[in-house]
Copies of this chain bind each other. A is one copy, B any other.
Amino acid sequence: MAETLKIFKIGGAILDEPAQLSRFVAALAQVPGPRLLVHGGGRGASQMLMQLGLEPQLVQGRRITDAATLDIVTMFYAGKTNKQLVAGLQAAGANALGLSGADGNAIRALRRPVGAIDYGFVGDLPADAVNTGLLELLLRADVLPVLCAITHDGHGQLLNTNADTIASAVAVALAARRAVELHFCFEKDGVLADVNDNNSVIERLTAAEYAQLKAAGAVAAGMVPKLDNAFAALEAGVERVVIENALRINEPVKTVLCRS
């Protein structure tokens, strides 16, 4: 039986803070056993779009990805951010290898159909999106795959895909082959009972408890899609989902989500 795989997802704030990112990289390299990292993009891509006179467009927190924007986010996510993470992990002793979804056909997406909103070059993930054979080949060679939030459609088109979605899809797909833990890392210590008190971490949260909290409006709005996504991954076979601080992954403080 293969060892438990720990999948970490980082994004947002930490990617814009080189000192914090270094701390995370050093901590990740210390985690024993097989690991996989999924990262989103920081504010850098938006800043470069503005520098180049391309106004970033967000609808409901999601970027509208036209062709020029796709070029820039591909350069940022698959180029700069991915390669800096990989070089940093290599220096810290972890044999990292960066992948977009196009690489080795790691993640094959479907361009989102145009509905009320045309999201542009945005990819959603079908059930068979993840190339588990490639990821297992790398994991068995002691490689730490580092996936960025760029996918492809198999017909030559790169697509922008939400990094949380990628992390969940990879976790669920690999859970058919081995035990998988999915770690969503962010700037707080876990799911907070009181959003203003970082010491109010809920250590353990069941699906039923989460449903109650959500119904009572006691979950921060930004956390709802993340937690919905996380519980769906648990239901789909992921062993454990953990919500934790990217700077404290090797410490005990965190929220562990449970099916029941």
Q: Mark A96-134, 1 if CB is under 8 A from B, else 0.
A: 111110111100000000000000000000000000001
Please tell me if the beta carbons of A156 and B76 are within 8 angstroms of each other in the complex: no
Query: A residues near B, CB below 8 A?
Result: 51-52, 71, 74-80, 82-84, 86-88, 90-92, 95-100, 102-105, 134, 137, 141, 143, 150, 152, 154-158
Least CB distance from A192 to B in Å reads 34
Least CB distance from A224 to B in Å reads 32
When distances are taken between beta carbons in the complex, the residues of chain B under 8 Å from A98 are 100, 102-103
Least CB distance from A75 to B in Å reads 4
Please tell me if the beta carbons of B86 and A103 are within 8 angstroms of each other in the complex: yes
> Which 4 residue pairs spanning A and B have beta carbons closest together?
A79-B79, A75-B75, A91-B156, A75-B79
Least CB distance from A244 to B in Å reads 24
A97 to B92, CA, bound (A): 24
When distances are taken between beta carbons in the complex, the residues of chain B under 8 Å from A103 are 83, 86, 96-98
When distances are taken between beta carbons in the complex, the residues of chain B under 8 Å from A78 are 78-79, 82-83
Least CB distance from A215 to B in Å reads 43
Please tell me if the beta carbons of A102 and B77 are within 8 angstroms of each other in the complex: no
Interface centre among A75, A96, A98, A134 (most CB of B within 10 A): A75
Interface centre among A78, A103, A134, A155 (most CB of B within 10 A): A103
Considering the complex, give the chain B residue whose CB is closest to the CB of A70. B80
A83 to B158, CA, bound (A): 8
Least CB distance from A34 to B in Å reads 15
Considering the complex, give the chain B residue whose CB is closest to the CB of A80. B75
Interface centre among A76, A78, A143 (most CB of B within 10 A): A78
A88 to B75, CA, bound (A): 16
Please tell me if the beta carbons of A95 and B90 are within 8 angstroms of each other in the complex: no
A104 to B51, CA, bound (A): 33
A88 to B90, CA, bound (A): 28
Considering the complex, give the chain B residue whose CB is closest to the CB of A71. B80
Please tell me if the beta carbons of B105 and A95 are within 8 angstroms of each other in the complex: yes
Please tell me if the beta carbons of A91 and B155 are within 8 angstroms of each other in the complex: yes
Least CB distance from A146 to B in Å reads 8
Least CB distance from A148 to B in Å reads 9
